[in-house]
Homo-oligomer: A and B are copies of this chain.
Amino acid sequence: MTSTHSPVRRGRPGYDREQLLQVCVQVFNEHGYDATSMGKLAEELGITKSAIYHHVASKEELLELALNRALDALEAEYQRVQDQKLDAVDQLEAVLRGTVRVLVEQMPYVTLLLRLRGNSEVEMAALQRRRQFTRQLGELITRAQEDGQIRQDVSAVAAPRLLLGMVNSLVDWYRPTTIGSADVVADTVAKIALDGLRGPTDSR
């Protein structure tokens, strides 16, 4: 495979913006965003720094693109569920399933998002969107409680954080070969979150 427009070393092809982002996110996740310089990225990509600057203005633009990918996907899931006119408890289940799907499909981007500490404006803005998502899940829980569809005796502050903690942990241990598809994991998450390990009541 050859390329006619990008500097190529060690036989590697040129990158379009999408491929560039993909490799950079992988490097960020491996070495940490802060610890990764543009020089390091160029080295890993096998291209020059100016070839990277052909696609993006800065390392931070790469971060922003990556975080937007994760957050746009999560927010789209929430919006998709909103548009379906479901009961609150069914919305809750659908959002949890959607979150699992996004995590599995966009895992490198979500991994990067989950490891942020808010060290810059871009990171702060991303954390703000993450908090908004958590808040929306909490609102669904409150509505489902008000509708009598779920138990009243769990905190609508702690519960969404615990549920997202459960789902987010996927980035640390999910492997399709040992764990199964996103749908299989989404089923397990939905079972535990809604009916617990003891299982559903007979009356449902």
Question: Size of chain A's interface in residues, with CB distance under 8 A?
Answer: 48
Decide yes or no whether A200 CB sits under 8 A from chain B: yes
Q: Known contacts A166-B163, A169-B164, A172-B165: does B189 contact A198 (CB below 8 Å)?
A: no
A197:B157 contact, CB within 8 angstroms:
no
A151:B198 contact, CB within 8 angstroms:
yes
**Copies of this protein chain in the complex:** 2
Question: What's the minimum C-beta distance from A134 to chain B, rounded to whole angstroms?
Answer: 9
* Cβ-neighbour of A173 out of B161, B188, B194 (below 8 A): B161
Question: What's the minimum C-beta distance from A194 to chain B, rounded to whole angstroms?
Answer: 5
Decide yes or no whether A57 CB sits under 8 A from chain B: no
Decide yes or no whether A2 CB sits under 8 A from chain B: no
A166:B155 contact, CB within 8 angstroms:
no
A144's closest neighbor in chain B, by CB? Answer: B197
Q: Known contacts A179-B158, A188-B155: does B150 contact A197 (CB below 8 Å)?
A: yes
Decide yes or no whether A32 CB sits under 8 A from chain B: yes
* Cβ-neighbour of A165 out of B92, B158, B169, B202 (below 8 A): B169
A170:B165 contact, CB within 8 angstroms:
yes
What are 6 A-B residue pairs whose CB atoms fall within 8 Å in the complex?
A141-B197, A149-B198, A165-B165, A165-B166, A166-B169, A198-B200
